[in-house]
Amino acid sequence: MPDMYSAERSRLAPGTRLNGIFEIDQRIASGGMGEIYRGHAIETGDPVAIKVMRTDLADNAMALALFRKEASALHYIHHEAIVRYYIFSNDPGTGRHYLAMEFVDGQPLSELLRRGPLSFEALRVLQERLAAGLSAAHQHGIIHRDLSPDNVLIPAGDLARAKIIDFGIARSTRLGDSTIIGSGFAGKFNYVSPEQLGLFGGDVTAKSDIYSLGLVLAECLTGRPINMGGTQFEVLEKRRDVPDLSAIDQRFRPLLEKMLQPNPADRPDSMAAVAAWRPRPEPSPRRPDRSSAPTPIAAATGNRSPATRPTASTKSKRMLGRGLTTVALLAGVGIVGLYVARVWVLPAPPAPPPPPPPI
């Protein structure tokens, strides 16, 4: 590693022009491969991100190949969720190799998660966005291999505009290709797949990005990463089983359990399938049919609902029926009255004749 003095001396000053195309505005970050600047296109003024290779790596063939690898990977991928590539070149004035890319004015997802976990709805947006972008990369035969919250930028806090960056260690799936640093490990330990550590044959395919994305999404739901690190033995052992997902929202758990299967063959078939996944709708509770029962208010007051309120004709029929019933009752009462009257007004039977006088 270069000392601080040589690193600062190698930085480009604001106003430096590269190939007469771009101009440096300010340094915004430092990485293992070089410095990252904000700049602009001289002719149009459009902002660009410029990754400039460190001077001490200029003669390093492996490092230069990594730079070219990133440029090649980005050149073939066109998706809104992936940072766009503009040009890879060597400026003769400074003697520096650089990669000019789309400038994304945002913060890493890792910083956003320091405020707390994402909501279920927010994660659904991010899941679909990132999976769709990685699916586009996979369709061009490019595997990211280093997906983590640090490599996802969120412009203005809008998850629907998330961008995946840093394809520097991407691997082509074309026959005979491998990463410049070898076909083995690449990426951050906490997010790498089992096969990146040599398990399950060590064959790194698009399924590896599915595993890493699963760990990123799990972190988004809890606000902290699943601990997949430790000693070399612990790192390997933690990848022989699905990690503990008991703290994960149960609506998302089926997807993450599938994405985090140790064996790549047991994970979703493709990143497109991850992007298309939807949680099962929760069944709505069954409500009792109360269409024929009066409401509590109606039952208490004797009122009927509009659906059971009698019509005018019904009322007429009911009144007529009640009238006839009343007449019948009155008639019955009259007959009984006459009968009773007759019983009480009939004359008493005649007295028997007196006995004859004695002889």
Partners of 51 in the β-ladder: 36, 99
146 is catalytic: yes
Measured between its terminal Cα atoms, the distance across the chain in Å is: 172
Element at 298 (helix H, strand E): helix 296-301
How many other C-beta atoms are found inside a 10 Å radius of the C-beta of residue 60?
14
Side by side, the strands of the sheet bearing 47-53 are 17-18, 22-30, 34-41, 47-53, 96-102, 85-91
- The answer to whether 11 touches 30, Cβ cutoff 8 Å, is no
* Catalytic one of 3, 46, 59, 146: 146
User: What distance in Å separates the CA atoms of residue 295 and residue 195, rounded to the nearest whole number?
Assistant: 64
Decide if 168 contacts 144 (C-beta within 8 A).
Answer: no
Residue 241 tokens read as 């089983």
Query: What are phi and psi for residue 177, nearest 5 degrees?
Result: -85, 155
Q: Rounded to an integer, what distance in angstroms lies between the CA atom of residue 163 and that of residue 169? A: 17
3-state secondary structure of 352: coil
Nearest to 148 by CA among 216, 207, 205, 218: 216
CB 101 within 8 A of CB 137: no
94 CB neighbour count, 10 Å cutoff = 17
Cα gap 236→111, rounded to integer Å = 28
DSSP-derived pairing of the beta strands 22-30 and 17-18:
antiparallel
* Residue owning tokens 């930085």: 11
3-state secondary structure of 246: coil
State the catalytic residues: 146
